[in-house]
Structure 1
Amino acid sequence: MAIPVSWGTIKSLLIFFGPMLLPKAIGYYRTLRAGPAAQGLQIRRLSPKVARTLYALAITVLVYLAISLPFFAPENLFVRTQSRLQIPTDVLFTRLTALRPENALTESDQALRARFVNLESRLLYLQFGPDVLADCPFCNSDDPHSYFYYALPALLAPHLLNLVALSAATTNWLAGREGPRWRTTVVMTSIVVAALDVYIVHSYNYQANSRAMRLPDLDLHYWDMRTYRAVALALVNATFAALLYLSATNRAFATPPDPAERVEAATRALLLTKSKLNAVGIIKNTSIRDEDLRHRVEAYWTHEGRLMREVMEEREVIEGVNDALENRINIDAISRDAESYATNMLPRAQEDAQVVGQQVVG
């Protein structure tokens, strides 16, 4: 039976644990947000592989949520006929026959009618559902555990199918390099959820329904667990999709590239810079060696110098420059900055070259 929790109890727990957990949660969130920036990583776009995996996970989440709806659940005879648990078997199935099209009962209904010979069978029906009670060939109400053994494969089937789907979603072929890092977490979480599901079903006290005299007092354990199971699987898949999205975009749980990737990136940057310098050198040599181009370059800079001198000799320009120099620009500070930049430019370039060289060698 579900344990009711009052709103007062929830508020008391929030008041007691809130001041301790809220600062830790905020700090953990800030650490996750600042992690990629602290490691020098930038937010990146989703790769096509990760995007396809996220779409597939979203579909599984929607499927599980749809399965959890009562529309897709097996029929409950007592709810369908609005009957209490202690109703005589003939009366129960007479009501059910009146609700069936053409007043016909299915083979499952006939099997359940043969099983409903005592209250124990009805209690087990509420615990394990109609399929187990109708189809089990070796089960007996004198041995309730036999129903659990027969129900166990069907109980584990959705967990195993979901584990197979998550294992496929964490492969390098489907999710890229971000998928395998979550495989252990996903497998362990799936095992824990499955074990918890089996434990709850096995440890359920089905005898508690024997004291329920009205239909609203019944604990429909099988139907409730079916809903909780589907919602739990949807939460597992949604959580994995969120973790995969955060790690794939470097928003959280980001890992810096390994040394081989850093060496490759540094080498690629050096080759790109070298190719640009070579291109500039080729263009400069071509313009100098070609007489026509050389004359054009000299003519351009001669014209540019003459034009700038004419502009700077205009009265309005001279007054504007003087006003800026006197009132707006600290020429001494600019001179110091220029001198400092010119002094440190060559040593910094040498240090950067040494760092890149160390990365490549290391």
Structure 2
Amino acid sequence: MSQLLQIAGSFKNLAYTALPILVPMAWRSGNKVYHTLKSPKYRARIHPISARNLRVVLVLAAATVALLLFYTPIARASEFNIFQITESRLQTPIEVVATRFRVLYAAPGAEGGQPWLSEAQARMPRNLRKAAAFTTEASWERFFARLTTLEGRVLYTGYGSNAFLHCDFCRTDAPWTFFLYVLPAILAPYIANLGLVLMVTRGPRNFITTTQSAQWTSIFVTITIVLAVLDVALFYSFPTTQFAMQTRHAVSRDAALWIYREAHKYRAIFLALVDASLAFVVWLAGTGRLWDNSFTEDGYYRSTQRAVQALDMAVQRLRVSTMLHSHVIARNKDFRTAYEQWGELEQLFDQKLREAPKVKEARKSAQQRKAALLRNVEAEAQNLIEKL
């Protein structure tokens, strides 16, 4: 609690300066959002979410639940706290800690206490049993030797028991070696979550990605990468941070900060927040609550796209007709004569058609409706521009 008070006190002056600016901005933004939500135009554009957008939301929701329920227990499955299971303080001599450990988990009748024997493993906690499954006496001797110094115990709180027990190249006088050992475990959840974000935002359109999810790629990819960089930076600089300093001066086991174990929990929470936020904005966009998405569904956007494709096809046909006339009809005497005769017949037919009473009446009626049609076209164009 005292740490939280210290952190809050350090930001007190900044808060006093920022509050007079942030409070009016928040009030104006909230007032604008409130009136937008109450407007009939906003309510009219809300519609049920499509099946593809619902699939994206469900995938992200499943990932969020999996991170919160399963990631931390799995990540901590083989992590143990040697000081906790032996009920020792951080200042307890390591020889005493090792003796307590061997007394607690020695195999019956084993001289010197060999805790990796199968009979002893049956009495171990599950996480300790998994950690000791493939260890040897040399590994345990090296493990306890690394805890003989205060700096080694500080690194133990930061990089965990797996690094101290299984890493062959790690040295307490070179903390970066422990960092290299735990780096894959740190990056693995971020890489997996980054793959999930890319799958739902940049995957095959006919599989899972939708227009509403594709527009959030850069934002959530950037957030995931930033979280990974901050996590890596924390563990890289851990020996020189305030967390390590607090552990050096800790008078009890509970006063020390066990960063590696706690990082699993907060890593899962932050990644779950990323996935839940992406699912939420996809749901908002997919139901029309975030903005009018008639342009991104089967509305104006699809109609405009089909019209552009039809115009493009017409232009291609005109080009083919021009090439055919230039290279075939214009160079052949018989074709050219037939083309001229067809032109004369077309002009004669067009003249008779224009002189027909029904055609004259239709042209006159069209001239009368021209003004009304122009007004309707201008109104539709204005609505289209506003929605864009």
Pair in the same fold by TM > 0.5: yes
- Give yes or no for the alignment of 1:58 onto 2:61: yes
1:29-65 CA-to-partner distances (Å, cap 9, x unmatched) read 4555739977897012111111122112112112222
1:178 aligns with 2:219: no
Indicate which of 51, 59, 78 corresponds to 1:48. Answer: 51
The answer (yes or no) to whether the contact 2:295–2:302 under 8 Å persists in 1 is: no
**Fraction of identical pairs, as percent:** 26
Residue 77 (structure 1) aligns with: 82
SS in 1 for 2:208: helix
Asked if the contact 1:61–1:238 (Cα under 8 Å) also holds between the matched residues in 2, the reply is yes
Higher RCO, Cα 8 Å, sep 6+: 1
SS at match of 2:170: coil
Cα distance in 2 between the residues matched to 1:153 and 1:202: 13
User: Which runs of structure 2 are paired with 1:210-221 in the superposition (5 Å)?
Assistant: 210-221=248-259
Of 141, 154, 158, which residue of structure 2 is paired with 1:127? 158
Q: What does residue 293 of structure 1 align with?
A: none
| Cα RMSD, aligned residues only | 4.1
Select between 41-50 and 65-74 the one with higher mean Cα deviation.
65-74
Gaps (5+ residues) in structure 2?
A: 108-118, 122-128, 307-368
Instruction: Select the structure that is richer in helix.
Output: 1
In 2, Cα distance between the equivalents of 1:45 and 1:131?
A: 49
Q: 1:186 to 1:357 in 2, by over 3 A?
A: closer
Corresponding residue of 2:143: 115
TM-score, normalising length from structure 1? Answer: 0.65
For 2:179 and 2:208, the matched residues in 1 are separated by 37
Change (3 A) 1:244 1:215: same
Which residue is 2:280 aligned to? 242
C-alpha contact 1:112 1:133 (8 A) present in aligned 2 = no
Amino acid at match of 1:88: P
After superposition, the C-alpha distances for 1:246-282 in whole angstroms (9 at most, x for unaligned) are 11112125556279952755899xxxxxxxxxxxxxx
CA contact (8 A) 2:154 2:248 kept: yes
Post-superposition shift, 1:205? 3.2
1:189 counterpart letter in structure 2: I
Are 2:86 and 2:97, in contact at CA under 8 Å, matched by a contact in 1? Answer: yes
Question: C-alpha offsets along residues 136-170 of structure 1, whole Å, 9 cap, x if unaligned?
Answer: 22111121111112221221111101100111121
CA apart distance, 1:86: 2.7
Contact 2:296 2:302 in 1 (8 A): no
8 Å CA contact retained: 1:32, 1:253: no
Q: Which residue of 1 aligns with 2:228?
A: 194
TM-score by length of 2: 0.61
Structure 1 pair 30–216 and aligned structure 2 pair: CA distance change class (3 A): same
- Larger CA deviation: 36-45 vs 90-99: 36-45
- Is 2:203 aligned against 1:203? no
Q: Which amino acid aligns with 1:247?
A: A
Looking at structure 1, the residues matched to 102 and 190 of structure 2 have their Cα atoms a distance apart, in angstroms, of 36
- Counterpart of 1:222? 260
Q: Deviations over 1:302-357 (max 9, x none)?
A: xxxxxxxxxxxxxxxxxxxxxxxxxxxxxxxxxxxxxxxxxxxx899645643488
Superposition deviation, residue 92 in structure 1? 2.0
Structure 2 equivalent of residue 306 of structure 1: none
Q: Are the aligned partners of 2:72 and 2:268 in contact in 1 as well (CA < 8 Å)?
A: no
> In the superposition, relative to structure 1, how do residues 190 and 48 fare at CA in structure 2: closer, same or farther (>3 Å)?
same
In structure 2, the residue matched to 1:354 is 377
Contact 2:285 2:291 in 1 (8 A): yes
Question: Relative to structure 1, is the Cα distance of residues 181 and 62 closer, same or farther in structure 2, using a 3 angstrom cutoff?
Answer: same
Q: Work out the CA distance in 2 between the residues paired with 1:204 and 1:176.
A: 41
Q: CA offset at residue 14 of structure 1?
A: 6.5
Which runs of 5 or more structure 1 residues have no equivalent in the other structure? 269-345
